[in-house]
Amino acid sequence: MADHGASGELYSGELIGMLEFVWGEGWLSPGGPEEVATAIKGISFAGKTVLDIGCGVGGVDFLLCETHGARYVTGIDVEDTVLTTARQRAEAKGLSDRCGFVKVWPGPLPFPPESFDIVFSKDAVVHIPDKHSLMRDAFRILKPGGWFVASDWLIGHDGDPSPEMKTYIAAEGLDFGMASPKRYRAALEEAGFRNIGIVNRNGWYRETARQELARMEGPLYGPAVRRLGKEFVDHNIDIWRKMLVVLDTGEHCPTHLRGQRL
């Protein structure tokens, strides 16, 4: 199981530190600005109000404002450590008037109907097991014409995960509630979304994760151990090795998702 750190939260200060070593400041998920640009391609954020589900430490929200021109991004998350960090960084960047960070509890999204132009998420819906309720809720809070657009970590099939996938998920120690592309499509369709897009990013991440592991074992290792301790860094290297097994089989499939409320 993951070390949840002194805070008792899943995304502890220690885990945030480790993930930012690998993925860069502001990022608790892979790919950075380039991967976001690929996920949102063809959907304009300029002048839009955006909800970001599972905002983490806010890197993606700053990007959506500064690079993609979003008018206002509301980032929501269930954990205090990430939210406090996101608020401090928004302040430091002078973006507090364009990025707000709100604590929520698992369950219905606490916003009135037709509140947002875009509902966005990067690699956080994996933590929300009931995809059908979430998609219904996303549809409800979107204005007509608005988009749900996300990347997320999916499992390639319905039914029981393989032993290798179970080993990987257990090593992560996070509350992963992974679902198949088929289940996401059904959830999007039943919620009423149209123009649905589901794009498997396994090929990209299989290669990228290999490079991440090489950096963790190479140039990042010393600095990360000095900051976070050998045991914690070695544990994360072990997670990456287990993840590569299920990326190589295609069972772990990071995916881009989108659907429009007409």
Ligand X SMILES: C[S@@+](CC[C@H](N)C(=O)[O-])C[C@H]1O[C@@H](n2cnc3c(N)ncnc32)[C@H](O)[C@@H]1O
Residue 187 tokens read as 């959830």
What's the closest the beta carbon of residue 239 comes to ligand X, in angstroms? 13
Distances (CA, A) of 226 to 3, 61, 220, 237: 17, 30, 10, 15
55 counts as binding ligand X under rule CB under 6 A: yes
Whether the Cβ atoms of residue 25 and residue 59 lie closer than 8 Å to each other: yes
Q: How far is the CB of 106 from ligand X (least distance, A)?
A: 4
Cβ 262 to ligand X shortest distance, Å? 26
Question: Which positions ≥6 away from 35 have C-beta within 8 Å?
Answer: 151, 201, 204
DSSP state letter for 70: -
Answer for which of 2, 15, 51, 60 binds ligand X (CB under 6 A) is 60
Contact criterion met (CB below 8 Å) for 1 and 170? yes
- CA dist 172 and 240 (Å) reads 9
Establish if 141 lies at the interface with ligand X (CB under 6 A): no
Compose the 10-29 pattern: x for residues touching ligand X by CB under 6 A, - for all others. -x---------------xxx
* Site pattern 104..133 for ligand X (x: CB under 6 A): x-x---------------xxx--xx-----
**Residue of 5, 45, 50, 56 that binds ligand X (CB under 6 A):** 56
**Positions in the binding site for ligand X (CB under 6 A):** 11, 27-29, 53-56, 59-60, 76-79, 82, 104, 106, 122-124, 127-128
